[in-house]
Amino acid sequence: MTRSLFVSLLSALALSGTAHAADGKSLYAANCSRCHGALGNGLPGLAPSLRDAGALGADFYLRTGYMPLDDPQTHPSRTRVLFSEPELRALVRYVASLGNGPPIPHPRWRDANVAAGLTLFTGHCAGCHQIVARGGYVTGARVPALGRATPTQIAEAVRQGPYLLPRFSPKAISDRQLDDLVAYVQYAKHPDDRGGWALGHLGPWPEGMVTWLLAASALVGVCTLLARRVRS
């Protein structure tokens, strides 16, 4: 009984998936064309062309929830993804078909060199993303932390340079180096915190908070306890 229900659910899902796959165009028309134009050429003052974005760009912007954007003037940030998996695939395929953009990269980071990745990250990324990838600030924009970025998204971002991020082609960072870089970012999500509670890996800022809010307040409390009036 349960099994048959499960099977029928699955087939229903599969069916709806194929139904949507054919619908990449209408999804695009409904969600993207207002700013990017009906043919993906972009609209002046609103949004850039998607002709060169490719599957890579579409995959990145849609799976991070950067797009669609309510107001084209706002700074995109990671939000809830609005589409189902089949819808995403359909949209990505459709956007990729608009021009001659790059495919989705598949970093092989599991055996890559974390040490080389750290060097690359320091040289190319730490200035904005902070050395343990906790995000930061650049004049005029906020830089996201990379804790929720998947290996694919990291690779996509490096290759494509979304929003204010510079773009690094294979000439600047080879595919092999990109694997190392991804390996480091993956490492930085859960680095070696042998010192204990990591305070978000933000350094002196939270350390100062702990000094005042925890240590200093605790000891002021101890002082008041110790010096309670003798007479009372």
In angstroms, rounded to a whole number, what is the distance separating the alpha carbons of residues 138 and 134?
Answer: 13
User: Distance between the two ends of the chain, CA-based, in angstroms?
Assistant: 76
Count interface residues toward other proteins (CB under 8 A).
Answer: 80
> By C-beta, is 175 or 193 nearer to other proteins?
193
Residue 4's Cα: distance from chain center in Å?
38
Show contacts with other proteins in window 180-199 (CB under 8 A). Answer: 184, 187, 191-199
Q: Does 111 bind other proteins (CB under 8 A)?
A: no
Indicate the helix (H) or strand (E) that contains 138.
strand 136-138
148 binds other proteins (CB under 8 A): no
Residue 212 in contact with other proteins, rule: CB under 8 A: yes
Instruction: Determine if 105 is a binding residue for other proteins (CB under 8 A).
Output: no
The site map against other proteins for 36-65 (x = CB under 8 A) is ------x-xxxxx-----------------
200-to-7, 100, 154 alpha-carbon distances in Å: 44, 41, 20
Asked whether position 174 contacts other proteins by CB under 8 A, the answer is no
| Cis peptide upstream of residue 144 (ω within 30 degrees of 0) | no
Q: Which of 17, 72, 86, 99 binds other proteins (CB under 8 A)?
A: 72
Residues 6+ positions from 188 with CB-CB distance below 8 Å? 121, 132, 133, 146, 201
| Listed ranges 5-13, 84-92, 104-112, 122-130: which one lies at the site for other proteins (CB under 8 A) | 122-130
Q: For other proteins, which is the closer residue by CB, 103 or 203? A: 203
